[in-house]
């Protein structure tokens, strides 16, 4: 790759660095959008940043500039998803150039020409420059190549000169941002008192016993929640439920799935192609020209699909195998002989007894357990059954099967050496220890370096135009007979083949709705946000991929007006739990006696549990989970004392503290102070973005255009 191509890559990265540092709201759509520019004034306003209005043409010019850069870097036009990212970069650049620059100017932050030279060819070369001019073959950075490139820059095409200018501009922007964030980071600190508090939270221990009655033990249907109760709760917790501009919809889909006729037509075609593949003298070219799916010409047995692998014993040169169906694709294969690979492939199963992070005594116990399992298998026990019962990794469900793998470092060295050192298939008669633990290994397919020459054609079943027209006819028929939510529900009830999907609180810039993806989804979102779309309105059919979608608008929320309906489900759950808590506490009454006797008196649902060595920082109370209020109660009680019943996060509890072990006194809290400062510093970039955007009163209306 030439140096200039690397520069272009880094130019794109520099733009990306700025973009990543801001919150991304990726949107799709066409470059020109679907918005008419015949209207003036506010109709062309894409947004506003720090009081500066951004009109459509200005923004689109920035998008076009970045689109051209993308095409130069990749050699192709951006697709729908990439185009959304290009628009996001354009918006973030404008945020940077307007809102951020105001903050830089206030502090007098600059990148001088001398500093830029130093970053490009001086003593403090930017990592982006260093990577751009590092030899990809040797991995060696050579500063002289930069100087040589710059000397010849004036003789390069104007396009490459512009790419370098853009690259340098982004270097300056990134350095300015680094300076600003560095200043902000230096202002973040943790006091000794905070460090001491963190140390105590992590190292003070409590042994507790508690009674726990989960809220779920009371049936939801027995607890009635009124709208006035929901409103009261919302009024008391406004900060927890911010307002947003969103829409909620329900929708049905009419799939353009291939019909039986489409499948039969393709099957006939693939059989015809099989004859052509068999007769072709250059079968690999014939396969490439006729296949919808690219398959490597040489495959190991492990890389073959199961149906083809089962045919290996019957392989004859020039033989045709298939058609085999995988999903919606039919495959045919022509066998053309074998050759030897430079690496080997094998298949094995294992039973893993983990030791990572265990103390020596626990490791010894793990070894004894693994040895016991190995002896059982050697005595005739089922490897697969013991793997399912004992293996401590994800392969347990598959009876320990790890599938095929190569001796190229896919597996850790001791494991790989054992499998590829085995003489053949079968159980390896010893434990194999790796960094993960002890492995009992069964080689199910011994190593081989045989590669099979396979010319493959894969043809995917696609719906015909007749099938597509029929799906559209059904969608149109549905849409023509429903005009509101009530009629929508009634029609769905009549047609048992239709399934209603719900999408709640869709933001205006949403690039997808549930599993619906692609640029066409933006049509549905724009319809939902259109001022002319009323609640309970039903849409026309939208074509999204291989299906038609008909939606009904079920709810609207506004940023400046939070209503109960915006958060009904969440509020209902909270209020219902409060009411359940009152019921449980009332039933417990003035509890006395042991926790066990109180639980017995309460009846079904009450649990009594122990939790040892819990701390305030990460305390976990078994069935009650993480409950800050319960932890606070436990550490606030004197040993041997008990709390009154109280409502926690997931149920009502009575805490009883058995013992408290204060954190040992230490003289130096530096480690905890550093820990707090690092945690705070890691969030500086995010907080800066939010603060600057809030101060700039950013108004983003791009979703109305794209």
8 A C-beta contact, residue 595 and residue 644: no
pTM of the model: 0.57
Residue of 62, 64, 81, 72 whose CA lies nearest to 6: 72
Q: Phi first, then psi: what are they for 120, rounded to 5°?
A: -90, -45
State how far the Cα of 218 lies from the Cα of 577, in Å rounded to an integer. 9
Give the tokens for residue 222: 């027995």
State how far the Cα of 51 lies from the Cα of 68, in Å rounded to an integer. 29
Give the tokens for residue 621: 């109370």
State how far the Cα of 236 lies from the Cα of 571, in Å rounded to an integer. 12
- Residue 2 confidence class, pLDDT cut points 50, 70, 90: very low
Beta strands at 246-255 and 298-299: parallel, antiparallel or unpaired: unpaired
pLDDT of residue 560: 86
pLDDT of residue 320: 95
pLDDT of residue 27: 30
pLDDT higher than threshold 80 for residue 596: yes
pLDDT of residue 612: 93
pLDDT higher than threshold 80 for residue 40: no
In percent, the amount of the chain with pLDDT more than 90 equals 62
pLDDT of residue 166: 82
State how far the Cα of 505 lies from the Cα of 569, in Å rounded to an integer. 12
pLDDT of residue 159: 79
- ∠ CA(70), CA(75), CA(81), 5° rounding? 50
Beta-bridged to residue 289, according to DSSP, are none
- Residue 192 confidence class, pLDDT cut points 50, 70, 90: very high
pLDDT higher than threshold 60 for residue 16: no
Q: What is the average per-residue pLDDT within 654-676?
A: 93
| pLDDT tens column, 238-280 | 999 988 899 999 999 998 888 888 888 898 999 999 999 999 9
pLDDT of residue 75: 80
Give the tokens for residue 34: 């679907």
CATH 3.10.50.40 residue ranges for the chain: 259-462
- Residue 547 confidence class, pLDDT cut points 50, 70, 90: very high
| Residue at token pair 């010019």 | 61
State how far the Cα of 653 lies from the Cα of 605, in Å rounded to an integer. 12
Q: What is the average per-residue pLDDT within 408-428?
A: 93
Q: What is the average per-residue pLDDT within 45-61?
A: 91
Provide DSSP, 5-23: HHHHHHHHHHHHHHHHTS-
Residue of 225, 169, 262 whose CA lies nearest to 466: 262
Between the alpha carbon of residue 702 and those of residues 27, 43, 54, 396, the distances in Å are 9, 12, 10, 49
Residue bearing the bigger pLDDT, 216 or 139 = 216
State how far the Cα of 216 lies from the Cα of 537, in Å rounded to an integer. 37
The CATH number given to 259-462 is 3.10.50.40
Q: What is the average per-residue pLDDT within 104-120?
A: 92
| Topology of domain 246-257+465-561, CATH | Chitinase A; domain 3 (3.10.50)
Provide DSSP, 665-687: P-S--HHHHHHHHHHHHTTHHHH
| pLDDT tens column, 294-316 | 999 999 998 999 999 999 999 99
Residue of 132, 104, 183 whose CA lies nearest to 7: 132
pLDDT higher than threshold 80 for residue 132: yes
pLDDT of residue 3: 34
pLDDT of residue 38: 35
State how far the Cα of 530 lies from the Cα of 534, in Å rounded to an integer. 9
Residues in the chain: 706
Residue of 527, 532, 538, 535 whose CA lies nearest to 556: 535
pLDDT of residue 411: 92
pLDDT of residue 14: 38
pLDDT of residue 496: 87
Beta strands at 432-434 and 426-427: parallel, antiparallel or unpaired: unpaired
Which of 116-130, 461-475, 510-524, 597-611 shows the highest mean pLDDT? 597-611
- Residue 42 confidence class, pLDDT cut points 50, 70, 90: low
Mean pLDDT of the chain: 88
8 A C-beta contact, residue 684 and residue 182: no
Query: CA torsion sign, 356 to 358 to 360 to 365?
Result: negative
pLDDT of residue 79: 83
pLDDT of residue 286: 95
State how far the Cα of 48 lies from the Cα of 58, in Å rounded to an integer. 12
497: enclosing H helix or E strand: none
Q: What is the average per-residue pLDDT within 375-379?
A: 94
pLDDT of residue 20: 33
| pLDDT tens column, 324-358 | 998 889 999 999 999 999 999 999 999 999 998 78
pLDDT higher than threshold 50 for residue 529: yes
Q: What is the average per-residue pLDDT within 496-518?
A: 91
pLDDT of residue 17: 35
Q: Is 304 helix (H, G, I), strand (E, B) or coil?
A: coil
Give the tokens for residue 545: 């991929």
Q: What is the average per-residue pLDDT within 190-210?
A: 93
Query: CA torsion sign, 232 to 237 to 240 to 243?
Result: positive
């Amino acid at each position: 790759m030439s140096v200039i191509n690397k520069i272009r890559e880094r130019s794109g990265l520099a733009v990306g660095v700025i973009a990543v540092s801001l919150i991304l709201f990726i949107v799709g759509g066409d470059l020109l959008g679907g918005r008419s520019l015949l209207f003036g004034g506010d109709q062309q306003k894409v947004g506003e940043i720090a009081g500066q209005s951004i009109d459509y043409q200005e923004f689109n010019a920035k998008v076009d500039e970045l689109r051209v850069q993308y095409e130069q870097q990749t050699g192709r036009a951006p697709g729908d998803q990439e185009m959304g990212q290009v628009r996001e970069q354009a918006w973030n650049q404008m945020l940077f150039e307007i809102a951020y620059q105001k903050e830089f100017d206030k502090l007098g932050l600059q990148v001088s020409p001398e500093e830029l030279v130093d970053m490009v060819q001086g003593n403090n070369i930017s990592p982006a420059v260093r990577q751009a001019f590092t030899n990809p073959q040797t991995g060696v950075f050579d500063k002289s190549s930069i100087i040589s490139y710059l000397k010849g820059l004036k003789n390069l095409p104007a396009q490459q000169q512009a790419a370098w200018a853009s690259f340098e501009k982004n270097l300056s922007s990134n350095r300015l941002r680094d300076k600003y964030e560095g200043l902000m980071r230096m202002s973040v600190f943790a006091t000794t008192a905070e460090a001491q508090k963190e140390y105590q939270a992590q190292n003070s221990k409590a042994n507790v016993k508690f009674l726990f009655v989960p809220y779920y033990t009371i049936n939801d249907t027995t607890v009635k929640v009124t709208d006035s109760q929901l409103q009261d709760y919302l009024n008391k917790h406004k900060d927890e439920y911010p307002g947003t501009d969103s829409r909620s919809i329900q929708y049905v889909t009419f799939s353009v799935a291939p019909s039986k006729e489409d499948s039969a037509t393709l099957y006939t075609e693939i059989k015809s192609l099989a004859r052509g593949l068999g007769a072709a003298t250059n079968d690999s070219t014939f396969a490439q020209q006729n296949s919808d799916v690219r398959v490597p010409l040489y495959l190991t047995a492990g890389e073959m699909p199961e149906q083809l692998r089962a045919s290996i014993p019957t392989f004859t040169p020039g033989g045709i195998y298939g058609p085999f169906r995988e999903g919606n694709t039919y495959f045919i294969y022509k066998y053309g002989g074998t050759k030897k690979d430079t690496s080997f492939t094998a298949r094995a199963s294992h039973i893993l007894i983990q030791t990572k992070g265990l103390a020596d005594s626990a490791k010894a116990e793990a070894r004894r357990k693994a040895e016991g399992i190995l002896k059982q298998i050697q005595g005739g026990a089922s490897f697969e059954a013991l793997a399912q019962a004992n293996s401590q990794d994800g392969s347990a469900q598959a009876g320990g099967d790890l599938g095929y793998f190569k001796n190229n470092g896919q597996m850790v060295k001791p494991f790989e050496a054992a499998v590829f050192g085995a003489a053949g298939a079968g159980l390896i008669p010893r434990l194999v220890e790796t960094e993960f633990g002890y492995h009992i290994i069964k080689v199910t397919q011994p190593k081989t370096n045989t590669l099979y020459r396979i010319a493959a054609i894969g043809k995917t079943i696609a719906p015909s135009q007749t099938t597509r027209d029929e799906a559209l006819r059904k969608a149109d028929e549905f849409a023509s007979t429903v005009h509101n939510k009530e009629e929508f529900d009634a029609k769905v009830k009549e047609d048992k083949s239709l399934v209603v999907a719900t999408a709640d609180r869709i933001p205006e810039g949403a690039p997808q709705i549930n599993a619906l993806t692609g640029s066409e989804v933006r049509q549905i979102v724009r319809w939902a946000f259109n001022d002319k779309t009323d609640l309970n309105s039903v849409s026309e059919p939208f074509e999204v991929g291989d299906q038609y979608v008909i939606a009904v608008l079920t709810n609207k929320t506004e940023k400046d007006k939070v209503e109960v309906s915006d958060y009904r489900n969440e509020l209902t759950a909270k209020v219902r739990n409060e009411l359940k808590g009152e019921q449980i506490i009332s039933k417990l009454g003035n509890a006395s006696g042991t926790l066990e006797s109180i639980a017995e008196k309460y009846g079904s649902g009450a649990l009594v549990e122990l939790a040892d060595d819990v701390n305030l920082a990460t305390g976990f109370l078994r069935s009650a989970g993480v409950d800050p209020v319960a932890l606070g109660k436990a550490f606030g009680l004197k040993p041997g004392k008990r709390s009154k019943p109280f409502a926690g996060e997931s149920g009502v509890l009575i805490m009883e503290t058995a013992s408290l072990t204060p954190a040992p006194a230490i003289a130096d809290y530096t480690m905890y102070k550093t820990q707090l400062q690092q945690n705070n510093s890691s969030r500086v970039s995010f907080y800066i973005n939010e603060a600057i955007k809030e101060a700039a009163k950013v108004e983003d209306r791009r979703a109305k255009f794209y």
